[in-house]
Chain A
Amino acid sequence: MIAWFADIRTDIAALRASWGSVRGGWRAARKDAAQLIAHRRIMVDTQAMLPDGMRVVLRTRVRLNGDTETDILRPWLNATTSDSVAALASTHFLAVAAATGGLAAAVAMERLATRFMVAAGTAGGAGTTIWTVLTTKLALLIPTLLTMWALLVPVALAMAGVVVKLILRRRLRGMFRRGLSAPPVRS
């Protein structure tokens, strides 16, 4: 039980840490997480104006196996002052952090939501049960409990939390499998 509450605290901390950097809120976080899973990597490009026009000068690919590659465009590197390179690189890596933070936010959010359902259902059900035990005759206890909406609703909520967790895990696993197994397509 202690570990369970510790996990919730960890989830809240992870969500708070990643939420600040996630670009575009919950929908964007889901989208970034889906992109990472479906395409096996997240790719973030940063463009800059060069004499021959706007070009990608920094590209970072974060792969599903954790490997990261950063490409730097040589003509830009050679023609730009160190300060300007450093400034654009900082902006670029903020965007990378935001894109990858989406996965953490998405997972933590879904886990928190299901845990909240289970916790709220359990607490509500327990409170109602204790109140009923204290205020009802023993002979009538079971029939009373079985017909009380104040008990049935929290129990249903807790059970729904467990079911939703299983569904979400199964769905995410399916996305992972489809994303990893699907051959890449030339677009």
Chain B
Amino acid sequence: MASAFDLTATARSLLNIEVNTIVRDNMTGEPMPPAPHALLDIAGEYAAVLCELGIDLPSYFRQGAGDPAAIIPAWLDAPTSVSDDLTVSADTFDRLRWAAKWASTTQTPLAARITPSKRVLLGRIINNSDAIKEMFKRFDPSMQQFVGKTRAQLLETPLQPSSYVIAPDDLIRLQKMWDIGVEEIVAQTVVHVTGDVTTRVQEALRSPGSETVFAIHRQSIDVSVACWKYMLDAVREIAGAAIRVVLRGGA
């Protein structure tokens, strides 16, 4: 709730930073839509990737499909789209999660179509779907009006931005999921306030000619670390003594 807002969670999230470099085929300037639409966008992108991989996603969204963990789908050449079946609900993300889980763990010759980079993507779908399912548990009662609605149902009534509230941390996480979508992250660096630094690089970047991307990633880290200090300082200044204790404790 807005009235119960405090900066502690934001301050805690500043205890480590993640720097991602993504190579995209297209870039649009579209900002994130209202959260119910953003949730459907994310679900739609995950569903499209799972269908592209040939997972029989309709078997997860069929009437009476039952427990998604128990479904054993088939590999298909061109599965039917499930975009009309996706709803703003934890159930939709649960089904997507189990479909991705099945695809990443199944060991059949047909599963050879899952390349290492697609396996990373499936891992992201699983983790983000779990994170969104948790968000639904924390959602403010004002979000209940959208739960269970399809895109068509959402579009029937004008959506007032002031008609719902989402916790700031969840909103930042949702925005990041929406921004990154299903794009492949070519390089990722996580810097912890303790000084630990972890860098992951996509296999394809081992080839010659990828130095340019590395150089851009390095510059991105430089800017990010510089900005990190400013933001810690700003949060300390804004929040006062309570957050200073948190930041000092975390450090």
Which residues of A are interface residues toward B (Cβ below 8 A)? 14, 18, 33, 40-41, 45, 55-75, 77, 82, 85-86, 89-90, 93, 96-97, 100-101, 103-104, 107, 111, 169, 172-173, 176-177, 180-187
Contacts and interface: CB of A to CB of B under 8 A. Distances in A.
11 contacts: A14-B233, A62-B223, A66-B228, A68-B220, A73-B23, A77-B213, A82-B209, A104-B230, A177-B5, A180-B10, A186-B37
Given A75-B25, A176-B238, A67 B171 contact: no
Given A183-B161, A185-B161, A187-B31, A93 B19 contact: no
Contacts of A45: 29
Contact of A71 (B13, B27, B34, B172): B27
B10 A173 contact: no
Contacts of A70: 19-22, 216-217, 220
A86 B217 CA distance: 11
B205 interface: no
B171 A40 contact: yes
Contacts of A59: 27
Contacts of A57: 27
Interface in B15-37: 16-27, 29-35, 37
B112 interface: no
Contacts of A68: 17-20, 220-221, 223-224, 227
A70 B13 CA distance: 20
Interface residues of B, number: 66
Interface in B195-251: 209, 211-213, 215-217, 219-224, 226-231, 233-234, 237-240
B152 to A, nearest CB: 17
Interface of B: 2, 5, 7, 10, 13-14, 16-27, 29-35, 37-38, 161-162, 164-166, 168-169, 171-172, 175-176, 179-180, 183, 209, 211-213, 215-217, 219-224, 226-231, 233-234, 237-240
Given A66-B224, A103-B231, A107-B234, A183 B13 contact: no
Q: Name, among B18, B168, B171, B223, the residue most crowded by chain A CB atoms within 10 Å (CB to CB).
A: B223
Given A64-B10, A169-B237, A181-B165, A72 B222 contact: no
The 8 closest A-B pairs by CB, nearest first: A180-B168, A66-B17, A104-B230, A68-B224, A100-B227, A65-B13, A186-B33, A70-B220
Contacts of A100: 223, 226-227, 230
A69 B172 contact: no
Contact of A103 (B10, B29, B234): B234
B53 to A, nearest CB: 21
Contacts of A63: 172, 175-176
